[in-house]
Structure 1
Amino acid sequence: MIRFAVAGLAMLACAGAVAAEEDNSALLVDLFAKICAPKPALPSQVERVATSLGFVSDGGPITAEMERGPKIDILYMAKLIRRGERIGSMSAYFAGPDDGPSVTCTVTATGVSADALPGLIEKSLKARERADKPSNDENHRLASWRVGTGSGDTLDMSVWRTSPRRASISIGYVGYKR
């Protein structure tokens, strides 16, 4: 009887450890696919999508006046909080002419698997031609992919194998209005 009780407690402990080591790799890829992969041309587009996904910005809202004029220079940042814990963030920087600013869009998350993330990126984001990059730390994995149809856009990934297993996916592009 005591053996069963000890075995049951051990199983509960393992289940708790698995829950504590939740894998947010799919969440990170999904958020990136919804926020950055569509290559929004305006900061207000990023803000609208991020807000609908539960991201909260400490800054004020992006106004139409901020997006007008010969040049845009806007950094939008927001964080994703779930169960009282910050599990992700995003940023998008728009700089240049309002009809085609340079954009760098990044989504980060914690609790990400360094082994699972590259495969999810390739499958879900249709990324191709992966180039693993050297890192000074064996616990840090870096890679980049080509995305899009001949556009030459590059998607970059950075992921840590050590706790809190933080990772980011980033893309740079020119935000042409469609």
Structure 2
Amino acid sequence: MIVSRFALAGLALLALAGAAGAEEDNSALLVDLFAKICAPKPARPSQVERVATGLGFVSDGGPITAEMERRASIDILYTAKLIRRGERIGSMTAYFAGPDDGPSVSCTVSAVGVSAEALPGLIETSLRARERTDKPSNDDNHRLASWRVGADTLDMSVWRTPPLRASISINYVAHKR
């Protein structure tokens, strides 16, 4: 009886040690955040801020105000980070520049703990991306690729070495809907 209790306790400790050593794969989280923040191609910085805040992102800067968006030409950079369990696991940036009725937008979501092998497939299935083009990199540990999504291009950058950083970005011209 005592031997079996020690055996069970030992197995439990091994399981905990294995779980602690296993890296969490944030690939699906990264694709999901991108799909909710950038993929809808928001036309206003306040739209990005509203969605990102709702997903748990916190901005270091002040809020986007109506006055900032009312100018004939806007130039707004919104950045925010996603903290979970006391660790920064993601960040996002959205830069809006140009005329109020059609600014150019660069929107990027990044995360750590992302699998370089899993991310491309998730992008293709979840974001309906097609025509992947793998791009050359100066480092074997860095993978670059781009896809077509409608008339736009998504770009991916992912590192195969810890902390396994990755980002997905899109550039487009925003039009009021």
Q: Say whether 1:69 aligns with 2:71.
A: yes
| TM-score (normalizing by structure 2) | 0.93
How far off is 1:6 after superposition?
9.4
In structure 2, the partner of 1:14 is: 18
Structure 2 counterpart of 1:71, which letter?
S
How far off is 1:163 after superposition?
0.5
Give the aligned CA root-mean-square deviation in angstroms. Answer: 1.6
Structure 1 counterpart of 2:16, which letter?
L
In structure 2, the partner of 1:173 is: 172
In structure 2, the partner of 1:108 is: 110
Which of 128, 131, 136 is matched with 2:130 structurally? 128
In structure 2, the partner of 1:137 is: 139
In structure 1, the partner of 2:27 is: 25
For the pair shown, which has the larger CA radius of gyration, 1 or 2? 2
Structure 1 residues without counterparts, runs of 5 or longer: none
How far off is 1:10 after superposition?
3.6
Using the alignment, how far apart are the partners of 2:18 and 2:134 within structure 1?
33
How far off is 1:70 after superposition?
1.5
Cα distance per residue 1:68-108 (max 9 Å; x no partner) = 12101000000000111100000000000000000000000
Cα distance per residue 1:23-60 (max 9 Å; x no partner) = 00000000000000000000000000000000000111
Q: Say whether 1:160 aligns with 2:159.
A: yes
How far off is 1:17 after superposition?
1.3
* Runs of 4+ residues over 3 Å off in structure 1: 1-7, 9-12
Structure 2 counterpart of 1:52, which letter?
G
Structure 2 residues without counterparts, runs of 5 or longer: none
| TM-score (normalizing by structure 1) | 0.93
Give the 3-state SS of the residue equivalent to 2:48 in structure 1.
helix
Using the alignment, how far apart are the partners of 2:30 and 2:121 within structure 1?
13
Cα distance per residue 1:111-169 (max 9 Å; x no partner) = 00000000000000000000000011111000000002xx2x10000000110000000
Aligned residues: 173
Q: What percentage of aligned pairs have identical amino acids?
A: 80
Using the alignment, how far apart are the partners of 1:5 and 1:45 within structure 2?
52
